[in-house]
Chains A and B, each alone.
Chain A
């Protein structure tokens, strides 16, 4: 009983919980900046540690030790609490991912944790909106309303496309969805995977959808008034959001922690494939970000309701039509476990 409790505490705090996800987040931040820089023919962070790999750590330590300013007329408690709450919500939703075959709470999850995770990140987006709204700054308010416009619109296609892979595997549990993909769903149903990546780009506020913090228009959007450690937590939750989004995409469409090569200690190989697939998805998303310019806000809304939404509906319909056919095809033993 005590050893179970100790194991749980170890898993939540160190591996594969808080510390592991935090270092993965810092690494992915460096990875993104480096890819972005190389795509723009620059060096990127170079002199902070080997290949500049400690750059995110330096940024966060510096931000945490800076003066913590609370401007007059901000929304008191909400302004102080939202950065930490959004970080905690993203961290909690990442805990439900099967990182080493099991989720962080050391069980196989439950039927429906996909829905729980999707609603948690919607709540986290709303917290980001609140952080901008409570800032008492016109630029923050503009950024906050832009978050709402963008997220409320793109959450719907995101959930519909995620439902596609749940339909295909016949399960709403993240681990079951990952485990049942002997062939990655990205190959079986590219009509869901490609729009999912685009929608994810909008959810993560990356180019061409970075209007909530468009520097040339509205200073820094909803982050404008945050300084010191509050900004550190906002930034950390943004970085964690990228990792979580990539992990969700790899879990739903690339088989998550299950890879073609598994021998020896399964916990090691599961984590290896998990990290590798997350990095691949992040690479693709950064590629899209580097080659795209920012859309205008009305274009983003139009692209959402007159393009992504019908595409998501069509993709879901196609999945529903294709499921019996793919299940009948014996060469894919996708659903034999059912």
Chain B
């Protein structure tokens, strides 16, 4: 009982994030990077941006997933150790957004890998992304 409580506490308090751009226009990526700047500073919650999928707990994916990116996105997801979560950031990542009629996109991260939290917006504000991650953590902690 205590062990489960400690594990859940640790997972809630230290979500490490991997950021992946699957063909986004860079607006969402700038908003994600803004989370690390002094104004929003998500290290307050223990969130760190990690360079490799092996160290990460949460995959923050942006972009409509181009056909070329789909395999890479899937492989990066598979390289992450369990338990792992996915946050789709931006209208494109949720449904394809303005690119949904394009011939070369798959229209959404959830067509390739399971998504836990959707953060819509074009681009979403950093507050919205923090809100999405906090909602995810509530789900994790029980």
Q: Give residues in A with beta carbon < 8 Å to B.
A: 33, 37, 40-48, 52, 54-55, 57-62, 65-69, 215, 219-220, 223-228, 231
Contact = CB atoms under 8 A, between A and B. Distances in A.
Contact of B54 (A44, A59, A226): A226
Contact of A33 (B11, B38, B43): B43
A67 B50 contact: no
Contact of A58 (B9, B38, B44, B82): B9
Contacts of A40: 38
Nearest to B55: A231
Interface residues of B, number: 23
Given A41-B38, A42-B43, A66-B82, A231 B54 contact: yes
Given A58-B14, A61-B6, A45 B55 contact: no
B81 A228 contact: yes
Given A67-B81, A68-B81, A46 B14 contact: no
A47 B44 contact: yes
Interface in B32-89: 38, 41, 43-46, 50-52, 54-55, 57, 79, 81-83
B72 to A, nearest CB: 14
- Chain B CB within 10 Å — which of A41, A54, A58 has the most? A58
B54 A227 contact: yes
Given A62-B57, A215-B51, A231-B54, A42 B41 contact: yes
A215 B45 CA distance: 22
Nearest to A61: B10
B11 A224 contact: no
Contact of B14 (A44, A62, A223, A226): A62
B41 A225 contact: no
Given A57-B10, A220-B50, 12 more contacts: A42-B43, A43-B41, A44-B41, A44-B43, A45-B44, A46-B44, A47-B45, A58-B9, A59-B14, A62-B14, A67-B81, A226-B54
A235 B125 CA distance: 33
Nearest to A229: B81
A224 B45 CA distance: 24
B7 interface: yes
B10 A220 contact: no
B13 interface: yes
Contacts of B81: 66-69, 227-228
A325 B38 CA distance: 52
A58 B46 contact: yes
Given A40-B38, A58-B14, A68-B81, A224 B52 contact: yes
A40 B41 CA distance: 10
Contacts of B50: 220
B58 to A, nearest CB: 12
B59 to A, nearest CB: 14
